[in-house]
């Protein structure tokens, strides 16, 4: 009697099972693949997968997730009737939020991050309101900012983003914090976003 583990029969059985899948089975298969992509993206963010050696693959996948997740309805729900200067469905904003740790690898913003996201938006709006004349004046002279107790430098990174993408102005930012670990994280984030030219960091106590 032929063995049930005969390679040829196993191959034919596998092909046959794929050919006879129902639409429901195809949907489940797609969802499994989608979740696998999200899981690998999360592992990449933790540095525990070779994907961070192939950044272009990660970026393409993340951009797709951003486009699929941030529908008009979700953006409106996040805004809750208020103006958002940082629109999460925009790819450059999504990258900023991802590097800052406010957007997850699957392009979502968790409940625990929404408050910080709204704080960052409010700070950017306050800066643009207070310095409306300075940021709209056409000049090649850079704007200069000093951020004390910078922490992980959320504000400095957002200002650098705004100068490049909203104001069209050069900018110089000095960010100071007494914690070397926080400064190291801030430097890495600036490098990942391509802002190292505009941001300088110093480790120093503020008194």
pTM of the model: 0.67
Residue by residue, pLDDT tens for the chain (207 residues) are: 444 444 444 433 433 444 455 655 555 555 555 555 555 555 555 444 443 444 444 445 888 899 999 999 999 999 998 999 999 999 999 999 999 999 999 999 999 899 999 999 999 999 999 998 888 887 788 999 999 998 888 999 999 999 999 998 889 999 999 999 999 999 999 999 999 999 999 999 877
Whole-number Å distance between alpha carbons of 52 and 185: 17
Contact 134, 69 (CB under 8 A): no
Strand, coil or helix: 83: coil
Tokens of 82: 């208020």
Reduced to 3 states, what is the DSSP secondary structure of residue 69? Answer: helix
Q: Which residue has the tokens 């705004």?
A: 162
Distance CA 175, CA 82 (A): 29
């Amino acid at each position: 009697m032929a063995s049930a583990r005969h390679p040829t029969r196993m191959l034919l059985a596998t092909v046959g099972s794929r050919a006879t899948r129902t639409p429901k089975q195809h949907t489940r298969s797609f969802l499994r693949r989608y979740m696998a992509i999200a899981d690998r993206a999360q592992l990449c963010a933790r540095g525990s997968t070779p994907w961070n050696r192939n950044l272009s693959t990660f970026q393409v996948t993340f951009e797709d997730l951003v486009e699929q997740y941030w529908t008009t309805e979700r953006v409106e729900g996040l805004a809750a009737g208020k103006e958002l200067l940082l629109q999460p469905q925009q790819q450059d904003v999504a990258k900023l939020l991802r590097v800052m740790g406010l957007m997850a690898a699957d392009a979502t913003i968790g409940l625990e991050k929404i408050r910080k996201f709204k704080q960052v938006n409010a700070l950017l709006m306050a800066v643009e309101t207070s310095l409306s004349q300075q940021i709209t004046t056409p000049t090649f002279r850079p704007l200069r900012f000093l951020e004390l107790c910078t922490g992980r430098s959320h504000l400095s990174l957002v200002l650098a983003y705004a100068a490049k993408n909203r104001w069209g102005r050069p900018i110089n930012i000095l960010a100071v914090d007494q914690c070397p670990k926080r400064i190291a994280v801030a430097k890495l984030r600036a490098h990942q976003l391509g802002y190292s030219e505009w941001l300088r960091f110093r480790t120093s106590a503020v008194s």
